[in-house]
């Protein structure tokens, strides 16, 4: 990683920070290496227009923008979009418009995306989406707002295929929503599918999300803006679906939390 004073690689299995901090092993290490390899390759081309690895964006739902604002305070270069959460708002169309706005800011599309919302299973039996995973604004604060369902993401996939929305190579999405990686069986997904896995399928990005757990922010004032899956015995999962592959995969992350600001800085080439 071109920083032998700060970092060591004692056995070739992972990169470790000497004085604590970040440790990458297994699938995390493979992904981290891929990101850095792509970044350095573009630097070697000495073409300023090719140094970017995509835009860095923040999408918040309704009053969840407080978490996005905490992240943007650390990463001022990030593009922040808020999904409105009034009556009839907050559904797929508003979510799509936020993502497209961030995608349009870079010729490479989205490199890193942080999403702050709530997440759960749709338990309304009157809807065709009953049993699916979904993300949404705080229902207590925004009782009339719409939701974004797992089956809605097929439309996002069509937009990606048509080039209306783009995701960069090694794009990464932090999906800060409870149960985002929990697989739910439903009419539309009888074999089971999590919101995070479907998002990985349609975007080609790596998606971090919590399985069977709440996402617990440390605090809006935390210096590292760390978010994680720390209660209910849940786990932070990495979801991915390689282009052309008939199936995707979910693997446990090596940590129960992720430093959102650190990931964002990778894509902005601000340091590692």
pLDDT tens digits, one per residue of 207-265: 999 999 887 666 555 555 566 656 677 888 999 988 778 888 898 887 777 888 888 88
Q: Give, as one character, the DSSP assignment of residue 184.
A: B
Q: How confident is the model at residue 56 (pLDDT cuts 50, 70, 90)?
A: very high
| Across 43-47, average pLDDT | 51
Same structural domain for residues 197 and 230?
yes
> Same structural domain for residues 222 and 138?
yes
Q: CA dist 104 to 14, 56, 84, 101, 148, Å?
A: 35, 11, 20, 5, 21
Element (H, E) at 27: helix 26-44
Range list of H helices, 55-143: 65-74, 92-103
Number of domains in the chain: 2
Which domain, by its residues, includes 25?
Answer: 1-48
42 and 119, same domain (yes or no): no
Residues 105 and 199 in one domain: yes
With bands split at pLDDT 50, 70 and 90, how would you rate the model's confidence at 52?
Answer: very low
Same domain, 251 and 124: yes
pLDDT of 50: 43
Most confident of the ranges 43-52, 71-80, 148-157, 166-175: 148-157
| pLDDT score, position 162 | 97
Please check whether residues 3 and 116 belong to one and the same domain: no
The single residue listed with the structure tokens 């209660």 is: 231
pLDDT tens per residue, range 119-145 = 999 999 999 999 999 999 998 889 999
Say yes or no to pLDDT of 94 above 50. yes
The token pair that represents 21 in the structure block: 């901090």
Percent of residues, the chain, with pLDDT higher than 90: 49
68 and 153 co-located in one domain:
yes
How many other β-carbons are positioned within 10 Å of the β-carbon of residue 23? 13
Range of weakest confidence among 48-62, 67-81, 254-268: 48-62
Domain final residue, candidates 48, 69, 84 = 48
- Same domain membership, residue 5 and residue 96: no
Asked if residue 179 has pLDDT above 80, the reply is yes
Token digits for 80?
């922040």
Q: What is the DSSP letter of 156?
A: H
Q: Does residue 153 sit in the same domain as residue 78?
A: yes
Q: Which residue has the higher pLDDT, 36 or 97?
A: 97
How many C-beta atoms lie closer than 10 Å to residue 221's C-beta? 8
Burial class (CB in 10 A: 0-12, 13-18, 19+), 159: middle
State the pLDDT confidence band at 25, using cuts at 50, 70 and 90: low
Are both 99 and 170 inside the same structural domain?
Answer: yes
The strand pair at 23-24 and 15-17 is best described as antiparallel
* Domain finish residue from 33, 48, 63: 48
Q: What pLDDT is attached to residue 225?
A: 58
Mean pLDDT computed over 90-108: 96
Mean pLDDT across the stretch 195-203? 97
Closest to 119 measured CA to CA, from 218, 206, 227, 194 = 194
165 and 44, same structural domain? no
Predicted confidence band of residue 70 (pLDDT cuts 50, 70, 90) = confident
For residue 270, pLDDT beyond 60: no
User: Within this chain, do residues 37 and 69 fall inside the same structural domain, yes or no?
Assistant: no
Average model confidence (pLDDT) across the chain? 84
């Amino acid at each position: 990683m071109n920083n032998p004073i700060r970092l060591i690689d004692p056995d070739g299995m992972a990169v470790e920070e000497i004085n604590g901090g970040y440790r990458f092993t297994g699938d995390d290490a493979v992904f981290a290496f891929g990101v850095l390899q792509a970044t350095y390759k573009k630097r070697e081309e000495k073409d300023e227009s090719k140094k970017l690895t995509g835009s860095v964006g923040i999408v918040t739902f309704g009053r969840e923008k407080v978490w996005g604002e905490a992240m943007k305070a650390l990463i001022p270069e990030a593009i922040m979009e808020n999904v409105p959460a009034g009556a009839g708002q907050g559904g797929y169309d508003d979510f799509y418009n936020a993502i497209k706005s961030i995608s349009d800011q870079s010729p490479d599309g989205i490199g890193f995306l942080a999403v702050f919302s709530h997440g759960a299973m749709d338990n309304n039996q009157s809807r065709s989406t009953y049993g699916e995973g979904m993300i949404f604004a705080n229902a207590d604060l925004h009782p009339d707002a719409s939701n974004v369902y797992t089956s809605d993401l097929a439309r996002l996939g069509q937009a990606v295929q048509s080039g209306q929305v783009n995701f960069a190579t090694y794009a990464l999405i932090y999906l800060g929503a409870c149960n985002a990686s929990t697989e739910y069986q439903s009419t539309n997904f009888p074999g089971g599918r999590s919101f995070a896995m479907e998002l990985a399928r349609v975007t080609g990005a790596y998606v971090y999300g919590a399985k069977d757990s709440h996402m617990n922010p440390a605090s809006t004032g935390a210096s590292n803006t760390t978010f994680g899956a720390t209660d209910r015995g849940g786990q932070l999962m990495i979801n991915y679906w390689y282009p052309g592959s008939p199936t995707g995969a979910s693997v446990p992350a090596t940590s129960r939390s992720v430093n959102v600001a650190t990931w964002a800085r990778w894509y902005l080439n601000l340091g590692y």
